[in-house]
Amino acid sequence: RVYELKQFVVKDAPQTVYYIPDFISEEEEACLLQQVYKSPKTKWTQLSGRRLQNWGGSPHPKGMLVENIPDWLRTYCDRISSLGAFSGRTANHVLVNEYKAGEGIMPHEDGPLYHPTVSTISLGSHALLDFYRPVGSQEGAAPQTEENRFVFSLLLRPRSLLLLQDETYLRLLHGIRGRGQDPLTDQVVNLPAARAQPGETLTRGTRVSLTIRHVPKVIKTKLVLGRK
Ligand SMILES: O=C(O)CCC(=O)C(=O)O
Ligand SMILES: [Fe+2]
């Protein structure tokens, strides 16, 4: 399993980043987008700079109350899990994020409630995912601006799969700048795999991402209706 993934490792990133272009087909992308936009309006949460759908339950320190993941997402949870992404476990949680051109997500850590692997399928448009050292992690008196905490970026093309593990997931923050255009520099470490050149500028459209993860601590409700 790991052997199959090995060819997709991003060598210029700290360990461990896999970037798989065209992980899904255009038909699958279209179907997924259709399903995302067919979901009930109440499934969306509006945040500043993006909209969000949560599937599988709300992760909680005491355990996640498991909710059903619909088949259209379950297929991808299974497909990614069978790559060995979650050390033999199966993904049970999906966040759907929608970003309009110019929107983004502040640098953050995903926190301890998830297995330390995140997998992301991008739909509709690209994004530049930026990585930062946490505040306070550098010696000396240099001001801790976002700029000098910045480490590298990854270009996520539509239909690609990104897998982040280990150091990259645990020690760095990740975010997406809220802007409409992305100039590509050599700080984007997966340009060849993403079939792009430094110096190019990509214009953003609406991107929908599926963030697929495994939440180890769950509570399964035993609701047995109509029985003693
Ligand atoms: O849209 C993305 O690729 C990133 C989403 C993310 O970081 C999150 O939901 O925690
Ligand atoms: Fe995140």
Closest CA to 208 of 125, 103, 118, 106: 125
95 lines ligand 1 (CB under 6 A): yes
Residue 193 DSSP class: T
Domain assignment of residue 218, yes or no = no
Question: Would you say the ipTM is above 0.90?
Answer: yes
Q: What pLDDT is attached to residue 166?
A: 81
Placement of tokens 């100039």 in the chain? 183
Band of residue 1 on the pLDDT scale cut at 50, 70, 90: very low
Please give the Cα distance from 1 to 8 (Å, whole number). Answer: 12
- Grouping H, G, I as helix, E, B as strand and the rest as coil, residue 25 is coil
Domain assignment of residue 51, yes or no = yes
Query: For ligand 1, what atom is nearest to the CA of residue 174?
Result: 7
Domain assignment of residue 204, yes or no = no
Q: What does the block give as tokens for 55?
A: 């599937």
Domain assignment of residue 211, yes or no = no
Domains in the chain, number: 1
CB 138 within 8 A of CB 173: no
Band of residue 139 on the pLDDT scale cut at 50, 70, 90: low
CA of residue 189 to ligand 1 center, whole Å: 18
Closest CA to 97 of 161, 54, 150: 54
User: For the domain that residue 145 is a member of, what is the CATH number?
Assistant: 2.60.120.590
SS (HEC) of 132-172: ECCCCCCCCCCCCCHHHHEEEEEEECCCCEEEEEHHHHHHC
Domain assignment of residue 86, yes or no = yes
CB 40 within 8 A of CB 183: no
Tens-place pLDDT, residues 81-134? 999 999 999 999 999 999 999 999 999 999 889 988 999 999 999 999 999 999
Q: What is the pTM of this model?
A: 0.93
Domain assignment of residue 201, yes or no = no
Domain assignment of residue 167, yes or no = yes
CA of residue 182 to ligand 2 center, whole Å: 19
Domain assignment of residue 206, yes or no = no
Domain containing 102 equals 14-195
